[in-house]
Homo-oligomer: A and B are copies of this chain.
């Protein structure tokens, strides 16, 4: 008797075709084999199954499944259906369907990803896009296919610099004269800011190096909360342009956005993926779209 791995799908296909056609010869024609080949395929199947799967009455009468043949065919149809599903799934995969896991963070979620996701779903209606804002400071890809991060992930990764995201000052209207604001004007001023994650410590050090040691009076990761505080006069905010754009501050009459002189070093937005990891067509397309969307944003700046 045979182990399960000795079963050949081709033989099961022959079994099913013969059962439907009632004849080895007609089944062979349907499958593109000769009659003798199909006969040998069934012989092999019967060797594996340990008994006859068809009663052959001889002459023009149709062959009939034996009880053993019915058992084999019942499961065989399942197998063939699964094999067909596999082939379909592979085909869909190459057509760009399938699943993609993307790690992201707030600014990218708000400004870049909506366009990427929309275009990806337009191109591939069946695709399964999963986003995750978890553990943005873990500097780990985990099982993600792609990871947006405002900095460089260490480890065996490849990365692509999508965008240089300059830091700008958001202040209540009238707090500063319109136009660029000298950096040193912020020294000692009250500031609301992000918690000390991601690029934030680096930015604050850069301010200090530029002679501006503002007083951070409130920290929150929620941009809307920070801007409410700015509007309320608690202080100003130094935020990346992407975050400002994503929070709707640009169209708020009570707020003004100023460039800083000299400009702080921009926050850099990178797209990471595991080095040496073959990307799915869907992931490759997502990278392309992210680059396009980021380029589009750059020209708007």
Report A's interface with B, CB cutoff 8 A.
1-5, 7-10, 13, 49-52, 55, 57, 64, 66-68, 71-72, 74-76, 78-80, 82-87, 89-91, 93-94, 98, 145, 276-280, 282-283
Contact A67 B278 (CB under 8 A): yes
Q: Which of B1, B86, B145 contacts A72 (CB 8 A)?
A: B86
CB distance from A33 to the nearest CB of B (A): 11
* A51 and B7 alpha carbons, distance in the complex (Å): 25
CB distance from A20 to the nearest CB of B (A): 15
Q: Which of B2, B72, B85 contacts A75 (CB 8 A)?
A: B85
Say whether chain A's binding surface is mostly helix, strand, loop, or mixed: helix
Query: Which of A79, A86, A279 gathers most chain B CB within 10 Å?
Result: A86
Give me 18 other A-B pairs in contact (C-beta within 8 A), A71-B90, A75-B86 excluded. Answer: A1-B90, A2-B87, A3-B87, A4-B9, A4-B84, A49-B90, A51-B94, A52-B278, A55-B276, A55-B277, A67-B279, A67-B283, A68-B90, A72-B89, A75-B85, A76-B86, A79-B86, A82-B82
Ordered nearest first, which 10 A-B pairs have the shortest CB separation? A67-B280, A75-B86, A66-B278, A4-B87, A4-B83, A4-B84, A79-B82, A71-B93, A5-B10, A78-B82
* A13 and B79 alpha carbons, distance in the complex (Å): 14
Known: A5-B9, A83-B5, A276-B57. A93 touches B67 (CB 8 A): yes
